[in-house]
Amino acid sequence: MAGVFDIDLETEDINTYFYCESVNRDSEKVGPECFELLTVLGKGAYGKVFQVRKVQGAQMGKIFAMKVLKKAKIVCNAKDTAHTRAEREILETVRHPFIVDLLYAFQTGGKLYLILECLSGKTELYYCCFCFYHQEGITSLCSFYLGEIILALGHLHSYGIIYRDLKPENIMLNHQGHIKLTDFGLCKESIHDGTVTHTFCGTIEYMAPEILTRSGHNRAVDWWSLGALMYDMMTGSPPFTAENRKKTIDKILKCKLNLPPYLTIDARDLIKKLLKKNPAQRLGSSKADSMDIQKHPFFRHINWDDLVNKRVEPPYKPQLHSDEDVSQFDTRFTRQTPVDSPDDSSLGPSAELAFAGFTYVAPSVLESLKEGFSFEPRTRPVRRHNSSPRTPISPLKFSPAGPFKSSMDREPDLFSPTSPPKVMVPAPLENGGASQPIRTPARNKKQKGHRR
């Protein structure tokens, strides 16, 4: 399993507070009692991720992913607190078609809750490309997915945010087949032209040389990771791998890039330019940022305006039985009984200040409340999460799509790929009151059938 690192090597003042005024006073009050636990999707050092159904208020009946974090474990380390704050604030501020949506955020005495859109799975993209790496359709397949990733990264960069953890596990597909970037815990804010940071973080196989050498890095690290991801998608493994981390790092820093002969000329050229060890020579390192990459001949068939507005039909759509289908997620988690342990803990006043202003309700939810919107749940497919992109896989059985074509049902132009959109960022409000137990679905067949 690829290791994820986060070691702070720079001296900086870490502000661990959420500065927010209480607004949206008439918005929905949301807490743990508003959600019914359905399935465990994942588990980490700081908490769990559940598939849940909203059982109260606006969007009742809709399926979400609920990330639950334990405050006591987070506040032990100032850097962890800062990362948690950054993820919450970035998800509120940055709205984009190819970045996961945050719908709600709230807290209890001992826990933090993030309610996110439920997506199809963390390895679908890798499966799709790995199955077609030897076929002629791999170039058009990769250009579609890489194009959406480039637009998402470019959007983050326009806000001074670098991602720093691009890898297959953090790229998911929604029910339509479009990508969504997830997991913003290693992002760094306020990185504009001329600014660098020195934190040693990321996943080794996708980390840029300047992170490994601690020489200072900026947004160019995301384009190195894009090159490593592209290589991975088109060959089945990252460009530099070894039996241990030290040897992998040595390869990244010292070894020459080897490209398989079956890659097209344009694919080879793009990978070479993205995997330049000198960040100043790397494609995308100029002030033009993602625009330089979008102009590369590998993407000559991409209409960027159509792509960002999701008017290009995805080459593959996940096939799932229902919006609760978790058959594609790791059974080590999905077989567990979904339980959110009782929250009877409390932190000291100084520790609680670190999470002031955490509560949030998305503008789309507020609009639905104002307009008396009646929500009909949509299918939100999910799939298995492999622990590593190099885990052996079984080929999927589906036919490669033909040339990309515009969707019949055209959506309005929401974004322009050449300029950042204007976003409305509402300040969050705090929900008071004690925490309530989360409802867990009954396990007998009669109740299950009634729930459906």
Annotated binding site for ATP: 67
Using the structure block, give the residue that is written with the tokens 């196989």: 205
What are the binding residues?
A: 67
CA-based nearest residue to 327, from 121, 175, 169: 121
How is residue 361 written in tokens?
């309700």
* Residue 305 among the catalytic residues: no
Burial category of 242 from C-beta neighbours within 10 Å (exposed 0-12, middle 13-18, buried 19 and up): middle
Q: Which residues pair with 54 in a beta bridge?
A: 35
Burial category of 376 from C-beta neighbours within 10 Å (exposed 0-12, middle 13-18, buried 19 and up): exposed
**Residues 269, 139: Cα–Cα separation, whole Å:** 13
Mapped onto helix, strand or coil, the DSSP state of residue 330 is coil
Pair 105, 359: CB distance under 8 Å: yes
Pair 114, 67: CB distance under 8 Å: yes
Q: Per the residue annotation, which of 8, 80, 101, 165 is the catalytic one?
A: 165
Backbone angles phi, psi at 167, to 5 degrees: -165, 165
**Residues 152, 129: Cα–Cα separation, whole Å:** 19
CA-based nearest residue to 57, from 139, 115, 111: 115
**Residues 382, 121: Cα–Cα separation, whole Å:** 5
CA atoms within 13 A on the CB side of 365: 26
Annotated active-site positions, please?
165
